[in-house]
């Protein structure tokens, strides 16, 4: 039997689609068959499966488990929870892989799958291989179906989050955005000292209060209101599946992902002087300067949680992070992105600094930057456009970093143009010391796009 996936669902970092249109039970079953086939051929036999709070998740879980067991893998169902809970299960249980069913921060009609294979990220060519096996019907057939067991890991996971807690007593507002992190958060704050105000911890697949994406400023308004009204120390928010963190200080100012990483790096580097800390290509130059100032080795790497995790292993980095709020701790943890754990470590970092989070934010260098700007481009052309821009810039003698797209340094600051791995868009960003410099950088981006025949359209901005 062969199976063909919708061409848009097999993506760089995960498998994702719209339920009933590009993703359904048959896809989940085929993913299970393919993953189990690859795992058995690599000598593995057991898979942990978890899911988020979307309406379609139980249906997809059932079909996925069916596919996994049909191809001879045993399954441990760890239940509803954030993606990092599944990553934790894969790290500590006697399993050879893990699959989380989650639509992350996508609209309610979406869902998808994030996978771990023998303790490493499963992405890029691995995901394409699932498609290839399905198209060829090249699946393992089991004489006996795999066994299915249930293991409620939530309490164990939450206990692990607070192991070695070094934070003080803070007054914090928390916003789970009705996503899958809510139940874990309710249990977590009971183990932490201080005063905690919880928002939207009930899991609701409709996301009735606001969209669960803490990188969008409008989604932090409820959190800001509570922090201001109650005079709290700071606020923390999570995305739909709990692997990305957002934070605001006592004045309601956003602490962006790269700024969080700069704060978290200090205690890490005290324990491991000279260690490599990884940021993504969208992060501010201020982050890399701060890591160097603290005695660490800053390393700029490709955007995408799978790329960052793989690079961390290569260079033995104890900490890494992305502008989008994925924070990865290898020091005293497992190296995966876990927003609940990052929040606990942030409390520790603030206490150890001897300052408030508001003071730490106020001391950060002042830079002006654009939001992430997006430009619609044909899927077949997006990578070619970036190559054309790189060639033009290098011919002109520009200072260009090719790690992930084109990151161009100028006396004003820097600008970035890269192809999205998940959408048919080019993503651009610029940062300068003042507005006049920023205007000059944005003009350079516009010039390069115009030379490539791409006009700044309605896609620009968030």
CATH for 368-451? 3.30.310.50
**How do residues 202-212 score in pLDDT, each as one tens digit?**
999 999 999 99
Q: Are 305 and 337 in contact (CB under 8 A)?
A: yes
CATH architecture entry for 15-152: 3-Layer(aba) Sandwich (3.40)
**How do residues 157-194 score in pLDDT, each as one tens digit?**
999 999 989 888 999 999 999 999 999 999 999 999 99
Give domain limits for the chain. Answer: 15-152, 157-362, 368-451
pLDDT over threshold 70, residue 449: yes
CA torsion angle for 202, 206, 212, 213 (degrees, to 10)? 170
**How do residues 375-422 score in pLDDT, each as one tens digit?**
999 888 999 999 999 999 999 999 999 999 999 999 999 999 999 887
% of the chain beyond a pLDDT of 90: 92
Q: Are 17 and 110 in contact (CB under 8 A)?
A: yes
Measured distance CA(219)–CA(134) in Å, rounded = 39
CA pseudo-torsion sign 66, 67, 71, 75? negative
DSSP H helices in 208-338: 221-230, 257-271, 285-293, 305-315
| CA 97 vs CA 81, 114, 242, 353: distances in Å | 17, 11, 20, 38
Q: Do domains 15-152 and 368-451 have the same CATH topology?
A: no
Measured distance CA(228)–CA(250) in Å, rounded = 7
* Fold annotation for 157-362: Alpha-D-Glucose-1,6-Bisphosphate; Chain A, domain 3 (3.40.120)
pLDDT over threshold 80, residue 462: no
pLDDT over threshold 70, residue 459: no
Q: Which of 141, 177, 109 is nearest to 33 (CA)?
A: 141
For helices 339-353 and 182-191, give the axis angle rounded to 10 degrees. 30
Predicted TM-score (pTM) of the model is 0.95
pLDDT recorded at residue 460? 41
User: What is the pairing mode between strands 46-51 and 74-80?
Assistant: parallel
**How do residues 345-385 score in pLDDT, each as one tens digit?**
999 999 999 999 999 999 999 999 998 899 999 888 999 99
Q: Active-site residue numbers?
A: 104
Half-sphere exposure (Cβ direction) of 71: Cα atoms closer than 13 Å? 29
Please state, as a whole number, how many other Cβ atoms lie within 10 Å of the Cβ of residue 433: 14
pLDDT recorded at residue 458? 46
Q: Are 275 and 267 in contact (CB under 8 A)?
A: no
Q: What is the mean pLDDT of residues 54-77?
A: 98
pLDDT tier, 457 (very low <50, low <70, confident <90, very high otherwise): low
Measured distance CA(391)–CA(383) in Å, rounded = 13
Q: Are 226 and 197 in contact (CB under 8 A)?
A: yes
Half-sphere exposure (Cβ direction) of 149: Cα atoms closer than 13 Å? 12
Q: Which tokens is 311 given?
A: 């690079």
């Amino acid at each position: 039997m062969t199976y063909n996936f919708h061409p848009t669902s097999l993506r760089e970092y995960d498998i994702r689609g719209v339920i009933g249109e590009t993703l359904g039970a048959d896809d989940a079953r085929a993913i299970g068959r393919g993953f189990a086939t690859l795992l058995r051929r690599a000598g593995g036999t057991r898979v942990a499966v978890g899911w988020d709070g979307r309406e379609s998740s139980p249906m997809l879980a059932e079909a996925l488990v069916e596919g996994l067991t049909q191809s001879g893998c045993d399954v441990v169902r760890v239940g509803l929870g954030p993606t990092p809970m599944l990553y934790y299960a894969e790290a500590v249980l006697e399993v050879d892989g893990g699959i989380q069913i989650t639509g992350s921060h996508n609209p309610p009609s979406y869902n998808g799958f994030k996978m771990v294979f023998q303790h490493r990220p499963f992405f890029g060519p691995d995901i394409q291989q699932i498609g290839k096996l399905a198209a060829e019907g090249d699946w393992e057939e089991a004489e006996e179906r795999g066994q299915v067991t249930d293991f409620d890991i939530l309490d164990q996971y939450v206990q692990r989050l607070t192991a070695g807690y070094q934070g003080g007593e803070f007054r914090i507002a928390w916003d789970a955005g009705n996503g899958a992190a809510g139940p874990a958060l309710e249990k977590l704050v009971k183990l932490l000292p201080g005063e905690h105000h919880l928002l939207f911890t009930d899991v609701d697949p409709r996301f009735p209060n606001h969209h669960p994406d803490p990188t969008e400023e409008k989604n932090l308004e409820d959190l800001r209101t509570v922090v201001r009204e109650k005079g709290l120390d700071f606020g923390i928010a999570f995305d739909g599946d709990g692997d990305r963190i957002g934070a605001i200080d006592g004045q309601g100012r956003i602490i962006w992902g790269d700024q969080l990483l700069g704060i978290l790096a200090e205690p890490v580097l005290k324990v491991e002087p000279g260690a490599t800390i990884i940021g993504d290509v969208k992060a501010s130059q201020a982050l890399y300067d701060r890591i160097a100032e603290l005695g660490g080795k800053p390393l700029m790497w490709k955007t995408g949680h799978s790329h960052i995790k793989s690079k961390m292993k290569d260079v033995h980095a104890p900490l890494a992070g992305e502008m989008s709020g994925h924070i990865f701790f290898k020091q005293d943890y497992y190296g995966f992105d876990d927003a609940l754990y990052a929040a606990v470590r942030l409390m520790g970092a603030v206490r150890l600094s001897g300052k408030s989070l508001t003071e730490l934010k106020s001391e950060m260098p002042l830079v002006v930057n654009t939001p992430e700007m997006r430009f619609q481009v044909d899927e077949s052309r997006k990578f070619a456009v970036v190559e054309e821009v790189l060639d033009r810039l290098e011919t002109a003698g520009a200072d260009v970093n090719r790690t992930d797209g084109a990151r161009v340094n100028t006396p004003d600051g820097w600008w970035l143009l890269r192809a999205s791995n998940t959408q048919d868009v080019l993503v651009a960003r610029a940062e300068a010391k003042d507005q006049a410099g920023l205007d000059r950088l944005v003009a350079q981006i516009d010039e390069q796009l115009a030379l490539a025949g791409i006009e700044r359209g309605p896609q620009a901005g968030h």
